[in-house]
């Protein structure tokens, strides 16, 4: 059911384009004492039985330097087989993660038996299916010295990806976000088969790529490594106002971290995004988010008015053309209808990203 219109007018919404002071972030503290974590379930997999068990928080001897953990985080919704294949492939890494956090929405999202024999600890976090909420649950399990690598459940890493990620953050203490080089992206070319991805990674491994860092404006959500210390110190969070797939959550979170260090892309972090189009968000809802989310971030101050309008115009044009020419016409037309609903809400002065749930 749609919400009633607010007293704001469409002109009021667009008056905010590049004008006025952005609203401050509503940062929330993290930790076990956070009331927001009450009622959420956190389980660890017993690597022998595959059953859930409680895992106590590690303690540290007074005066001892905290150990830097490399924590890998994957969020998933309704893609059990895809998740299983991707998680099992992590065992091929030359440097294994100290902990894998799996954020799911229900028990059927995961095959505990298939993941029970892996050579690294796994903690399962069960709660809301929205991507931003899933990643915030991961943040609450971090320690200040940790590095968190957020991956999509269909992202395949080169075998040295984790080792190179940890080395990057150790060599460059000024880096707060690092994203890799995607050498194949199925989300752009209508999907990429796993066999193709493995071949691409093999070819990339044969190259002697330079250890080059480039400054970027944001990490890429399918592979984004985060230094935990500033996140925990300043209570940063993924924006849970962005529902379901939480499109642009990576841009928003990166811009929150930008005042505290460098955001970089590395040629030594190679991977392939399979771009499997199942699970989180149907076309109509995503079409609404394609318009509502950029406007929300523009008003919040983490996306410039120019960039927000570019994204809105690009999405409209792409869906309009694809709805006529593409083989995926049904999905493109659904996205276009979602675009139109969002534009109508802007003109009525009541745009809200959360309404993507009800369209």
Query: Are 100 and 230 in a shared domain?
Result: yes
- Closest to 308 in 3D by CA, of 107, 117, 22, 8: 22
Burial class (CB within 10 angstroms; exposed 0-12, middle 13-18, buried 19+) of 219: buried
- Taking each helix axis as running N to C, give the angle between helix 305-325 and helix 329-347, from 0 to 180 degrees, rounded to the nearest 10: 140
DSSP for residue 232: H
3, part of any domain: no
5, part of any domain: no
64-88 pLDDT per residue, tens: 667 899 999 999 999 999 999 999 9
- Closest to 152 in 3D by CA, of 59, 23, 15, 278: 278
28, part of any domain: no
**Under a CB-based contact definition with an 8 Å cutoff, are residues 285 and 136 in contact?**
no
d(CA 46, CA 54): 9
DSSP for residue 140: T
**Under a CB-based contact definition with an 8 Å cutoff, are residues 242 and 353 in contact?**
yes
Q: What is the mean pLDDT of the chain?
A: 82
What band does 155 get if pLDDT is binned at 50, 70 and 90? very high
Please give the model's pTM, rounded to 2 decimal places: 0.81
The reported pLDDT for the residue numbered 329 is: 65
The reported pLDDT for the residue numbered 46 is: 44
What band does 201 get if pLDDT is binned at 50, 70 and 90? confident
Query: Are 142 and 99 in a shared domain?
Result: yes
Query: Are 118 and 77 in a shared domain?
Result: yes
d(CA 112, CA 84): 9
Structurally, the chain folds into a number of domains equal to: 2
| Residue where a domain stops, chosen among 273, 300, 319 | 273
d(CA 93, CA 73): 15
SS3 2: coil
Give the Cβ contact number of residue 321 at 10 Å.
12
Lookup: tokens for 320 = 């309009």
The reported pLDDT for the residue numbered 6 is: 40
166, part of any domain: yes
Most confident of 185-199, 318-332, 334-348: 334-348
The reported pLDDT for the residue numbered 184 is: 83
298, part of any domain: yes
What band does 62 get if pLDDT is binned at 50, 70 and 90? low
What band does 185 get if pLDDT is binned at 50, 70 and 90? confident
How many residues does the structure list for the chain?
Answer: 359
**Under a CB-based contact definition with an 8 Å cutoff, are residues 8 and 351 in contact?**
no
13-22, 55-64, 75-84, 149-158 — which is least confidently predicted? 13-22
The reported pLDDT for the residue numbered 284 is: 93
| Residue where a domain stops, chosen among 273, 303, 321 | 273
pLDDT at 117 over 60: yes
Query: Are 14 and 99 in a shared domain?
Result: no
104-108, 226-230, 271-275 — which is least confidently predicted? 271-275
Name the percent of the chain lying above pLDDT 70.
Answer: 76
| Residue where a domain stops, chosen among 227, 256, 273 | 273
Phi, psi of 67 (to 5 degrees): -80, 135
What band does 196 get if pLDDT is binned at 50, 70 and 90? confident
**Under a CB-based contact definition with an 8 Å cutoff, are residues 151 and 72 in contact?**
yes
d(CA 213, CA 180): 10
pLDDT at 40 over 50: no
Most confident of 12-21, 28-37, 142-151: 142-151
Average pLDDT over residues 232-238: 98
138, part of any domain: yes
Within 13 Å and on the Cβ side, how many CA atoms surround 224? 24
Burial class (CB within 10 angstroms; exposed 0-12, middle 13-18, buried 19+) of 322: middle
E strands, the chain, are 41-45, 52-53, 70-75, 99-104, 122-126, 147-152, 155-157, 175-185, 213-215, 223-227, 262-273
Within 13 Å and on the Cβ side, how many CA atoms surround 153? 27
Query: Are 210 and 228 in a shared domain?
Result: yes
Query: Are 94 and 134 in a shared domain?
Result: yes
pLDDT at 60 over 50: no
Domain range enclosing 265: 35-273
127, part of any domain: yes
């Amino acid at each position: 059911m749609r919400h009633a219109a607010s007293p704001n007018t469409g002109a009021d919404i667009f008056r905010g384009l590049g004008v006025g002071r952005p609203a401050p972030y509503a940062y929330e503290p993290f930790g076990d004492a956070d009331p927001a974590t009450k009622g959420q379930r956190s389980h660890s997999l017993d690597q022998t039985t595959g059953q859930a068990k409680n895992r106590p928080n590690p303690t540290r001897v007074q005066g001892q330097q905290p150990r830097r953990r490399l924590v890998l985080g994957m969020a998933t919704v309704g893609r059990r087989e895809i998740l299983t294949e991707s998680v099992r492939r992590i065992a091929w890494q030359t440097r294994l993660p100290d902990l894998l956090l799996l954020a799911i929405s229900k028990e059927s999202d995961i095959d505990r038996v298939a993941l029970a024999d892996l050579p690294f600890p796994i903690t399962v976090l069960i709660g809301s299916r929205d991507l931003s909420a899933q990643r915030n649950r991961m943040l609450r399990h971090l320690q200040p010295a940790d590095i968190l690598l957020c991956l999509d459940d269909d992202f395949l890493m080169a075998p040295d990806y984790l080792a190179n990620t940890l080395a990057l953050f150790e060599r460059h203490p000024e880096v707060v976000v690092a994203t890799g080089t995607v050498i194949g992206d199925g989300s752009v070319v209508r999907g990429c088969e796993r066999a193709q991805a493995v071949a691409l990674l093999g070819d990339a491994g044969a190259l002697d790529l330079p250890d080059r860092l480039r400054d970027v404006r944001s990490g890429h959500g399918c592979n984004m490594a985060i230094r935990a210390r500033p996140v925990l110190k300043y209570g940063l969070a993924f924006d849970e106002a962005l529902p379901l797939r939480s499109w642009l959550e990576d841009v928003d979170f990166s811009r929150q971290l930008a005042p505290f260090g460098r955001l970089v892309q590395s040629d030594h972090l190679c991977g392939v995004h399979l771009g499997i189009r199942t699970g989180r968000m149907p076309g109509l809802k995503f079409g609404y988010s394609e318009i509502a989310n950029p406007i929300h971030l523009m008003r919040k101050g983490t996306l410039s008015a120019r960039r927000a309008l570019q994204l809105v115009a690009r999405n409209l044009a792409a869906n309009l053309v694809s709805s006529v020419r593409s083989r995926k016409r049904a999905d493109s037309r659904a996205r276009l209808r979602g675009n139109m609903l969002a534009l109508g809400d802007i003109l009525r002065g009541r745009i809200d990203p959360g309404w993507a749930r009800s369209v």
